[in-house]
Amino acid sequence: MRDGLIAVVGDKDSVLAFKAIGVDVFPVSDEEEAKERVHALARTHSVIFVTEQVAIWAEMYLKRYKARAYPVVVPIPSAEGGMGLGVSGIRANVEKAIGADILFNKEDKQ
């Protein structure tokens, strides 16, 4: 069973820092590795932080986990910078639930 463990998956530069604060760190460098790693971690960890690159690589699995309570997969920006994947995910959610992108339009007007 999962035991409230936290994992970070991503390129080595981005994830190494997390190791020092005591979370499980898994550096990956290519698409195959990323998919396998995320898939395996989904069974053992409850929260998985992935860099945006990994999120794109393992998109197939992440979609599957979206509707379940665990694991919680969260995309984070890598050391090189973010691609705005997190915010676009929020936007997609709004669109899915309400049918129109009301949240962001409003902000544009302000």
Partner 1 sequence: MELRRLKDRLKTATRGHKLLKDKSDEMIRRFMLYIRENLRLREEVEGELQASLNSFMLARAVSSDAAIEEAVSMPGTRLKLSASSQNIMSVDVPVFEITKEEGGELYPYSFATVTAELDGAIASLAELMPKLLKLAEVEKTCNMLADEIEKNRRRVNALEYVMIPQLEETIKYITMKLDENERGATTRLMKVKSMLEQQNGVQ
Counting contacts by CB under 8 A, is residue 53 touching partner 1? no
Q: Measured between alpha carbons, how far is residue 30 from residues 19, 44, 56, 66 in Å?
A: 20, 22, 11, 23
Counting contacts by CB under 8 A, is residue 90 touching partner 1? yes
Counting contacts by CB under 8 A, is residue 86 touching partner 1? yes
Closest CA to 30 of 48, 49, 50, 10: 10
Residues of the shown chain interacting with partner 1 in the complex, contacts defined by CB under 8 A: 2-6, 13-14, 16-23, 46-47, 49, 66-67, 69-70, 72, 74, 76-79, 81-82, 86-87, 89-90, 93-94, 96-98, 103
